[in-house]
Amino acid sequence: MARHLRGFTQKKSADRLGIAQAVYSRMENDLVEIDDKTLKRISTVFGLPVEFFDQHAPIYGPPVSVHTMLRGPAQISARDVDMITAELNLRVMHLRRFLENVEFTPSLHMPQFDIEAFDSPGLIADMVRRHWKMPAGPVKNLTRLLERAGVIVSFSDFYGAGADKSKRQGSGVSGVTFSAPGQPPLILLNPNHPADRVRFTLAHELGHLIMHRFPTPAMEKEANEFASAFLLPPDELRGACRGRKVDLALLGNLKLEWKMSMQGILYAIQREGIITKNQASYLWKQISAKGWRTREPASLDFEHDMPRVMPTIVKSHLDDLGFDKEELASLARVYEHELDGLYPYGNGGTEDRTRPTLRIVN
């Protein structure tokens, strides 16, 4: 896990430790006893405290879905997936420890629908909106809505915690979902992507949580259809277009209102048959000619919806439960600079005092 976290190969790790790769491989597979001196070298090479390696938490495999940025190149290598999976495992370990001191109580129930039992993901999206008694119109803050339903939302650059960010590993990833047994679902989002992309990714990941207990060949397409209908219900889309010319200006206005990309809105308009195939083709050509396939106009950008639950959990340890930064880093089995990178929520901290258990009612 430490090797993947840093994006190292076995050969690079072995070279830095000054041992043969075959020996290193046996060490990873627990076939060689590791003495204290070697463990200290391992700690130095991977930039992790010795205590990191004395953990007995389960290590989970890759997430079912790694959602890439659809506009532009999005090649995700096996190494990228390894780094992302290691970071997810690290955050899951932290969350488990943090929730021993802080009780997180969702206010909304996360429904489960079997996609095989319904006509379309769009129908499920409508049922979820009804289940949560959501008003008509745009979802004002999707991050907050998912947090109320018990999802932990955080941001990640997807470079691998502590990896060389100049290499921009994983930068094509918009988001991933990770569900560990007995813990709230964790969704990581890339803050370097435009807010419309991230918002759609969040709705896409919600679709996975609601519809997909097991991976299927159609799951990505189904999650995209769910996200589109959840963010902009077909009936409201038709109402927004009724009596209006569907052109780039309208797509821009709808983007600002519904917080979806112009391309996402055009896709939905085309899917619902609101315009002809030729009209849609003309608009797609215009979008391509203006270079908006990879970057829509900056004048239409809007701010990211910021997570609140995870920052509250971390700040509560520092401000309410008596932890200082060094103690919190020790609890997380990482150094302070890495803790700050994973959870950049300020440098609180309090004097030593009795530590209660804090309850967060979301």
The CATH number given to whatever domain includes residue 20 is 1.10.260.40
Residues of the chain with pLDDT under 70: 64-75, 159-171, 346-362
Say if residue 223 is in the same domain as residue 149: yes
**177 and 80 in one domain?**
yes
Are 340 and 269 in the same domain?
Answer: no
Range of the domain at 265: 232-303
The 3-state secondary structure of 14-81 reads HHHHCCCHHHHHHHHCCCCCCCHHHHHHHHHHHCCCHHHHCCCCCCCCCCCCEEECCCCCCCCCHHHH
Predicted confidence at residue 169, as pLDDT, reads 44
pLDDT single digits (tens) 231-282: 999 999 999 999 999 999 999 999 999 999 999 999 999 999 999 999 999 9
The amino acid occupying position 255 is K
Is the domain of 38 the same as that of 89?
no
Same structural domain, 154 and 293: no
Within 172-324, strands assigned E span 173-178, 186-189
76-224-66 Cα angle (round to 5) = 25
Look at residue 81 in the predicted model and tell me its pLDDT. Answer: 87
Q: Which residues of 326-349 are buried (b: 16+ CB within 10 A; e: fewer)?
A: ebbbbbbbbbeebbebbbeeeebb
| Listed residues 186, 216, 231: the one ending a domain | 231
CA distances to 105, 184, 273, 315 from 359, rounded to whole Å, are: 8, 15, 49, 13
Same domain assignment for residues 89 and 196 = yes
Within 13 A of 179's CA, how many CA atoms are on the CB side? 13
Q: Are 331 and 95 in contact (CB under 8 A)?
A: no
**What pLDDT shows up at residue 358?**
54
Question: What per-residue confidence (pLDDT) applies to 249?
Answer: 97
- Give the angle subtended at the CA of 91 by the CAs of 88 and 95, to the nearest 5°: 135
* Residue from 201, 185, 210, 170 nearest 83 by CA: 170
Determine the Cα–Cα distance for residues 4 and 343; give it in Å rounded to an integer. Answer: 20
Distance between CA 206 and CA 148 in Å, rounded? Answer: 13
Show which of 16, 32, 54 is a domain's final residue.
54
Q: Tokens 């989002």 appear where? A: 189
Residue 21: the pLDDT is: 96
Please tell me the predicted confidence (pLDDT) of residue 158.
81
Examine the domain organization and report whether 184 and 281 are in the same domain. Answer: no
Among residues 224, 199, 23, 200, the alpha carbon closest in space to that of 122 is found at 224
- 280 and 323 inside one domain: no
Q: How many CB atoms lie within 10 A of CB 288?
A: 11
Residue 133: its pLDDT value, please? 97
Instruction: Give the domain-ending residue among 205, 231, 257.
Output: 231
Number of domains in the chain: 4
Residues 275 and 316 occupy one common structural domain: no
Rounded Cα distance, 201 and 203, in Å: 5
Q: Give pLDDT tens digits for 111-120.
A: 999 998 988 9
Give Cβ neighbours of residue 127 (< 8 Å, ≥ 6 apart): 111, 113, 118
What's the helix, strand, coil split of the chain in %, to 5?
Answer: 50, 5, 45
**Are residues 130 and 242 located together in one domain of the fold?**
no
pLDDT of residue 359: 60
Same domain, yes or no: 258 and 338:
no
Are 120 and 216 within one domain? yes
